[in-house]
Structure 1
Amino acid sequence: MSTTWLISGPPGCGKTTWILNTLRDHPGPCGYLRLKGTSQDGLEQGCDAGIDRTWLQDQIPALQDLSTSQHRTAAADRINLIELQQFQAPPEEAPEAIDPAIQSQLDTLQLRPDRCLHFGRDPELPGQDTLAFNRLEAWSLSLHNSVWDPNSLSSFWFELVNGAYGDVYRAKALMNLPDGRAFFCNWIVSQQGSQFLPLERVEPPHGRPKRSSELVVQGNALNGIGIQTTIDDCLISDDVLDMHQAPMRDQQPESTLTR
């Protein structure tokens, strides 16, 4: 039989990092799913924009997506980890204590957790970044096909996490650069600084990248219009992108260009 765990906790507590390390240490097949969390009075859920899944699948190419039925097969050495943003801990670890709205999602996918772990309650999980939020807004933006000017990205992210667009407590994103690289950008108010972690996959220099690119922000008094306006000034045009990519295309072997 496979093992299925539900891993929950508040924004920025380290769920995805813990899941990545756990999956890397597992010798057998593994699956992943992020569930849609529930909002509470004054506490707005961050959008599930696919950032976590994209990052994990880049780091673990064999990782299977549990949202599709063909990947929910049972195996003796298989582990499935389900991620859930949840502001408050369930009253107990038993699966019977799962919120009915969450249980409905699990039932639809025919997934039944063997164990439920929550950051801030269970000692197996680190607790240094587990924050209690009294009020939290959420804002998100799809950046599909967008490519950033590298210097502008650095300036924008510095402004974002230092209060230029409201009190940001949590920010994460997948950002594309002109040379085909992408970065998982990650920040939480309890940390000393931001993480800029490169994805393994580099896109070929042939137009705009096809992979996921998203931004999710949580905080208070967020200025979404200001964020959007600044981002519009930071993204590069087709002509500028082609100027960056042309030298890379010239360096590629002819056989690669004709694929």
Structure 2
Amino acid sequence: MDLLASPFMVRALIAAALVGITAPAIGTYLVQRRQAVMGDGLGHVAMTGVALGFVMNTSPVWMATLVAVLGAVAMELIRSRGRTSGDVALAMLFYGGLAGGVMIMHVGGGSPTKLLSAMFGSITAVAPEDVTAMAILSAFVLAVTIGLRRQLFAVCQDEEFARVTGLPVRALNLLIAVTAAVTVTVAMRIVGLLLVSAMMVIPVAAAQRLTRGFAATLGTAIAISLTVALTGTATTYYVDAPSGAMIVLLAITVFVGMTALSAPLARRRAEAARAAADGVCTGDDVKV
């Protein structure tokens, strides 16, 4: 295939695979705890880190990771201590992070247009050092989301119960927030900071249409995300379209398709449940 003959395209496909695996890995937990928009807030605050990276001539990926992690920790601490609502904290991250990034670029003499590739993703923006950084960060995300899946699921399902069982709830909440921040920067080059939340949420929502149980949802969501990330990235090579937009639109298409498939499946399940209930009732009547 000619696209594999291009070094930048090979890097882009590797980066897309990393995004496809990591985004739903943490997104499944965020959806479970009804914090699906966290990725949006962290994506906006990471913009400040990207701008600092450009102005200081350092790696935008690592600088965005640092700033996003600090923002995630601050947001989680504010939320857990009840000083303000989680919505207000997210709003401050949304607008303060985005405005801070633009202002830093302006004061530092850089062009705000440099932020566009970070906002919406670009396959040509993936440098060799970016792939290395993304691989390291992805390993961290997978180690947390898979290695601590039982503990994280317990916290996302019921914090009070998890606290009673002796789990360090506050530390695990902070870990979820930090992992989400890291995932945002992993996806920055391919999907973009403004669209990364879609990859955390849409594949999970699509998987939930056909699966039952946390493990099945997680595995299906990763499969969907990986497929659309690779397909969308490869498609942009031929049609010259923004990679982030292409990937997200493909994910939405899959979601719509699975929603259509889930309707008859749900009806069959309901009919089977009613038949089983009728059978139990009939058996009880005969027994009496």
Q: Which has the higher contact order (CA 8 A, sep 6+)?
A: 2
**Greater strand fraction, Structure 1 or Structure 2:** 1
The TM-score, its normalising length taken from structure 2, stands at 0.27
**Greater helix fraction, Structure 1 or Structure 2:** 2
The TM-score, its normalising length taken from structure 1, stands at 0.29
